[in-house]
Every structure is written in C-alpha cells, then in structure tokens.
Structure 1
Amino acid sequence: MTVSPTATDHADDLALALRLADAADAQSLPRFDAADLQVSLKADRSHVTDADLATERAIRTLLAEERPRDGIFGEEFGAEGDTHRQWIIDPIDGTANFLRGVPLWGTMIALAIDGIPQVSVVSMPALGRRWWAATSHGAWTATPQGDRRLQVSTVDALEDASVSFQSIGQWADAGRLPELMAVADAVWRDRAYGDVYSYMLLAEGRIDMVAEFDVKEYDIAAAVPIVREAGGRMTAFDGTETLSALSTLATNGALHAPFLSLFRAARRP
C-alpha cells in the first residue's frame, strides 16, 4: 500500500464512512468496561473480545448493503472481494486498553483505492471524539463549538519536538533501541500515548512525531488520510513511500527528514 493520493471527489464515500463509524460505536461502546466482556486469544497470542467481533460484523453488514461491489479487509475476518476499492477496518484498535477499561481505543475505517487510502474515519467513543478526512476535503474533528479543521504543528527543530514512541518493547523487538535512545536525547518531550490516539494528536498539532513497528495495514490505514490532509507525512520507518513494511513514521512534515537523518546516524557503528 502506497501513500500518494490522487485528486477526486469522495463526499459520498466519506458520508458512508461516518455512518459505518456510527454503527461501530453502537456495538463497541456498550461493551466497554462490561463485567461480562468475553476475551480470548488469537493464534498470534493477541487478545480479541466479543466487541471486536461484533463491531467488525456490523461494519461488514452495512457495507454489504450499501457497497456490495467493494472489497473489505478487516483485522478479525480477513479480506474478501475487490481490491480496487477496499475498505480497511480495525474494529477496535487498542484492544488491550479496551479490555482493561482504559478509554484510549478506537475504530479505524479507511477506503483505499488501488491501494492508496483516500477516505478515513477514526472514532473513539469512550472519549467522545471522532476524526475524519478525505483527499482534497481536508481533515476534521468534531468539537462542542462545531467541526474544526485539523492542522499539524509548525515545529521545525528536533529539540522542540514532542513525540510518541508507542512502547519500549516494540522498539526493542524491532532491534531499534539505539534509534529510540537517540530520539529521547534529541527531542523536548517523549511519551508513549499509544495506538491510534497518537496519530490523532499529531494531526491536531499537539505532538510532532509518531513511530511504531509490527503494524499491519489495518493498524494504520485510517490514520493516513487524516495525517496527510492535516499537512503531515506518513512513510515506513526508513522513509519509503509504503505502509506495507510493518513500520510507520508519521510527522508534521517539517520534521520528517530530520528524524530520518537522526535514525540513520543512530544505526552507524
């Protein structure tokens, strides 16, 4: 999956994506912090709850009714149908938070056309927050005062940057601890906000870089249009224009090259 968009109109697709988010919230939020939440382990030893499954089923049902010719790729039930127009779904990003009653989780919905995410919605109903974007339509979030257009920060120096590194274990497993230590030494502030919320903070201009590893396309596809339309940039960790490399680097754009240079320097013997 590449990350370069093409200009087109996606108003109808965005309206559908917002309805899909409504359907997802109706399934996930009532199960959040439920005493009878059902949790099991998948083959990869990650957790899945009854809410993950019900949420993805609800999205698939609505897509079958409204876009029967479109394909879908979801975390819980895999891929089916056309890949020219493919909805990429993570029903609950942050399942570990969800099952522990931590409200930092959300549904990620993206429409990719020929492999490029063009439309997306991220909904975090436990926080009462939602973000959305479409190519040439900008990136937006809802506020009590009305919808607000998103814009990444203008920070252009590493020493002024605030970043989210997701988790130490993730970087260690990827063999990237030298780069993480270099980041911690170079920036103003480092925190592990985690999962999709980090990308939304980036798009809002509240932090300036997010990087993570061992990610699938459904973990990050919905973040791409939102970050991009807010003025930021997303690539693989090495800067290549793909999000199929099990890693991602998202920045406010101005800091993308400085972070890539920092990472390269940290890897030198």
Structure 2
Amino acid sequence: MQMKPLIGRDTQLCMSLSARPGNFGTRFHNRLYELTGLDFVYKSFSTTDLDAAIGGIRALGIRGCAISMPFKEAVIPLLDGLAPTAGAINSVNTIVNDGGVLTGHNTDYGAVVDLAADLDRAMPFVVQGSGGMAKAVAAALSDSGFRDGTIVARNERAGRTLADLYGYRWAAMPEGTVPLLVNVTPLGMTGADAEALAFPAAMIDGCAVAFDVVQYPIETPFLRAAAAAGKRCITGADVATLQAVQQFVLYTGVTPDAAQVADAGAWARAHS
C-alpha cells in the first residue's frame, strides 16, 4: 500500500448525489485512494436543490460526482456535454469536471455489459423498471446481443418507449417464465419496499439467473428466494463495484489492479 498524503489544500474532492445516500461508494473510493496513495477524498451528499448542487461542483472544482436516483435524467440539462455512454441512453450516473466543463457519463452501462459477458445471449429476459438504470440495463443487454426481451413497467408510456427503443416488448406486470430476470426498481430496497418480492415466486422458480440492481440490502427478498431455489444470482453489489471502478478511473486516470479492487470491495461491504 502506498502512503496516502494528508488531506490538504491540494486534495481533490469527489462526491455522490442521491436521494438516499449509502456508504458503499464512499468507503470503496476512499479505500482505493488509500491503496493507490492518491490525494483524493470522497463524500456522499443528498440535495433538494439539484441546480445549486451542480453549480457547486463547477464552482468549487470538485473533480467528479456519482449521480443516483432520482437525478440521472434531471441532471442532463445542467451539464456541458454527454459522453457516448450517457448520450445513447439519455441517463447520467457520473459527472467528470475538467476545469469547469462538466461531462456526463454512464458507468452503469459498462458494468452491466461486463456482468452479461458470460451469459447466453439467446436467453429471453424480463427487465422490470423504466427509469435511468433500466435504460442502462436495456441498452447494455441490447448491445451485448440479447434480442428476446420484455420491459415491465406500470407506466405504459415510459415502458413502451424504452421497449420500442431496443425492439423489445412491453408488459404492465411480470408474468410467464423466462431464464433471466432483472429487477431495476426499488422493490426489496431498504425502506418502505424492503419486504417486497420483485417477481412472483413462480417466475423465480422458473428462471436460471436472478439479477437485482438494488444495493441495500445486497440480499433482497428476490435474491434470497432465487438463491434458495438454486439460481445464479447477480447482485447490486456486483454492479456497484464494477461501475465504481470505472468512475475511479475517470476521476483519477489510475486503473487499480484486481487485488486492490477486491480489497476495496470487501472493505466497503464490511463497513457499509
């Protein structure tokens, strides 16, 4: 481990903005700064004034900012430009500040591409959700070669728009049996929906892979049920780790090695 400089006037700040901030990203990034000896510090925030928050990033020279629900689309008009990963799906989860010029990126997309790399592209799938993260998942699956998909969303307009964009179907409610189930809603997340099962039990029993982007808790009711039924599970922590590594590289220009990533991931999970 390299010696990390003491926090001082040259320390660069990175941050996150979320309606419900958690500790994983903060602990993960700060642990990687320690392991790589970088003069950075990371802090999570919430806000009720997105315009002022983004103005603060620009005015204070904050190097980077992770963007979570519900700001992934609302932040776009406040930025100076979008990288292809964000522009293609009109959703931002990462802002990079280059001398006051703010560019939006989407590292969720890249994380899902990586996680889908060893899955069978011929598998039919259901993605439940139609927000910013759902757009990243649908785009990543489409670009990875998955052609047989259904977008489940109670908001018909948003659901159909997302489905039509990638040649998928839309449904108001999940039903039937498909090999790949992906939850991109708050169902199962800590809070009011903590006990909610994202998919009916029969669908979980009939799937091969259960994928839940919810980060808190890591083991949602959906994933607990899938694991008990012997299904392969992909967790929100898997997504969070991969997308955070890509953010780290965008902010610092440094690529951590596999051992450092594993250390930071374990540290963040143990202390979140």
Task: Give the TM interval when normalised to the shorter protein.
Answer: under 0.3
Compare relative contact order (CA 8 Å, sep 6+) and give the higher one, 1 or 2: 1
| TM-score, normalization by structure 2 | 0.26
| TM-score, normalization by structure 1 | 0.27
Normalized per residue, which structure has more strand? 1
